[in-house]
Structure 1
Amino acid sequence: MSNATTSVPSGLDAGGLDQLSPDVRSYWQMVGFRLRHDPVTLFFGAVILFVILAAIFAPLIAPKDPTLTSMIDRLKPIGYKDYLLGTDELGRDMTSRLIWGARSSLLMGLMPVVFALLIGGALGVIAGYVGGKTNMVIMRIMDVFYAFPSILLAVAISGAMGGGMLNGLISLTIVFIPPMCRIAETATTQVRGLDFVEAARATGGGTGSIIVTHILGNVLAPVFVYASGMVSVSILLASGLSFLGLGVAPPTPDWGLMLSTLRQAIYMNPIVCALPGVAILITSLSFNMVSDGLRQAMDVKL
């Protein structure tokens, strides 16, 4: 009699999933495989991680107090004495202010998107699955907000509420809820008519259980990819609010506010004055590139 043997997928004995054929990988394993082999996404992801770590550990790595002024050291160039990136219009260390400014800029960039994802995503899933009058009411309310450009709506809401970081967060959250709701509603509408959802209804599954078990897993990917791309827009809008005096209040370090206070000195020291703008550009571009990489990695058609 011949001995029975069990076949093992090629690559398991070598360790890791990288050698597995696509047929034996799960969806999320395939997404991870694509991300690990995407150098552009990995690079910009490392940039985002660096900015986040700098914001978290700002008290430890910032060389000076970001609010400490020195009138004799105003607008000094890069490399002056122990000021690595020079000083601003009040003689404050630009290196420390950029590091501390990452905190408020990331907070204003990430939190509105997270809140909008939770609120808008929930409304979109409910509208897409229930349909009928519920869909009509929710989506017509969202359409009202679409009538206004994002930046004007954010400025109007923040200005009406009196400015400040909290009001800026609220205004940006309101701005991002409609597009999040639209994406979630569209994805849910496409999924709710599929066979496995109909089978769940036929077996007596409740609305809540069907949404949690069958709908969310298929809606999460497009909504999450869209949300990651909105972070870069949120950072730009938050910086714009601070630039106009409707966001973070001085003397709190914030990249948009720093651009506003330094704009009058741009002809005296243009390089130092441009540093907050460079920080905004690099961070928003990094989030945009990571979002594009996630979209490609999560695209089942690829």
Structure 2
Amino acid sequence: MSTTVSNAPPTGNAAMAAPRQRGYWGTVGYRLRYDPVTLFFGAVLLSVILAAVFASWIAPADPYQESIIRRLKGPGYMGHILGTDELGRDMLSRLLYGGRLTLLMGMVPVVIATLIGGGLGVVAGFAGGIVNTLIMRTMDVFYAFPSVLLAVAISGAMGGGVTNGMIALTLVFIPPLCRVAETATTQVRNLDFVDAARATGAPLRLVLWHHVLGNVLGPVLIYASSLISVGIILASGLSFLGLGVKPPEPDWGLMLNALRQAIYVNPLIAALPGIAIFITSVSLNMVSDGLRSAMDVRS
């Protein structure tokens, strides 16, 4: 008597009894997909980024065109949707173009600091001993100064400007990212699967790449994502103090500085750059919190 084996996929109750297996990143994506708060603020953040990237096509007017007779006009005046600034320039266009430099100065230093600080932290945590002491004691020197004062001091000493401002913020963010990476690497270094990989004679680079970095990357990325909002606020602060973007280039922090006297004439116009910074920072923090919850394997 012959037996026929069917290769058809299970159906009905059999299909329900065999749920699809997801990997780690598949599980993270599944959790994020069903997190309405993170999705909402992610959509807001994506809208801000796209508006800044495509400002040349979206902006209704030239952000540099001045008009003395149109100074500090309210929303809707002569086609200016959000009004005009202290020199009669279109506020909506200035905000769209200003988002480019603000986001650039907030994100680029975090990315560079993640690569440098994260790499130093992994080396310090995995090597231990004198290498760990040398790297981490050097990082501790930066902790002696508040991040705001350190960024202002470095940028002021270098002469201000967009490039020098990003260098200053990068140096500020390297120590905390290095510490997070070092702590995570130290915890992973002595786990059983790392010892087993070493015992089998696996090359050091493979142990680091496949066993250490995979477990360190999550905490570092989560912490780095939370630093972007801090970077935007610090970058805006540098521009507000005249150590970041220089006039007439649009930047949210620089616009706050230029409009600070206008609060007595047209407070709504003066508040618009601050509102843009607030919305972007809150969205980044909420997305970072959602990402941390989704990547928490214990939940």
TM-score band, normalised by shorter chain: over 0.9
Q: 1:52 aligns with which of 49, 60, 76?
A: 49
Aligned residues: 297
Aligned AA (2:164): N
Q: What is the Cα-based RMSD across aligned positions, in Å?
A: 1.9
Partner in structure 2 of residue 135 of structure 1: 132
The two structures have a TM-score, normalised by structure 2, of: 0.95
TM-aligned CA deviation for residue 10 of structure 1:
7.7
Q: 1:151 aligns with which of 148, 165, 184?
A: 148
Counterparts in 2 of 1:20 and 1:290: CA distance versus 1, 3 Å: farther
**Aligned mates of 1:49, 1:20 — CA distance in 2:** 38
Residue 227 in structure 1 maps to residue 224 in structure 2: yes
Unaligned ranges ≥5, structure 2: none
Q: 2:296 aligns with which of 291, 294, 299?
A: 299
Residue 186 in structure 1 maps to residue 183 in structure 2: yes
Residue 281 in structure 1 maps to residue 278 in structure 2: yes
**Aligned mates of 2:117, 2:132 — CA distance in 1:** 13
Partner in structure 2 of residue 206 of structure 1: 203
Counterparts in 2 of 1:21 and 1:280: CA distance versus 1, 3 Å: farther
Q: Give a deviation string over 1:232-285, Cα, whole Å, max 9, x none.
A: 000000000000000010100000000000001110000011000000000011
Q: Give a deviation string over 1:189-244, Cα, whole Å, max 9, x none.
A: 11111111111111222322211121111111110011001000000000000000
Q: 2:40 aligns with which of 40, 43, 48?
A: 43
**Percent of aligned pairs sharing the same letter:** 67
TM-aligned CA deviation for residue 7 of structure 1:
8.4
Q: 1:272 aligns with which of 266, 269, 273?
A: 269
Q: 2:242 aligns with which of 242, 245, 260?
A: 245
Q: 1:168 aligns with which of 165, 186, 205?
A: 165
**Aligned mates of 2:147, 2:54 — CA distance in 1:** 32
Residue 263 in structure 1 maps to residue 260 in structure 2: yes
**Aligned mates of 1:9, 1:166 — CA distance in 2:** 59
Partner in structure 2 of residue 91 of structure 1: 88
**Aligned mates of 2:20, 2:221 — CA distance in 1:** 25
**Aligned mates of 1:222, 1:69 — CA distance in 2:** 47
Unaligned ranges ≥5, structure 1: none
The structure 1 segments of at least 4 consecutive aligned residues displaced by more than 3 Å after TM superposition are 1-11, 19-23
Partner in structure 1 of residue 117 of structure 2: 120
TM-aligned CA deviation for residue 4 of structure 1:
3.2
Counterparts in 2 of 1:8 and 1:95: CA distance versus 1, 3 Å: same
The two structures have a TM-score, normalised by structure 1, of: 0.94
3-state secondary structure, aligned to 1:249? coil
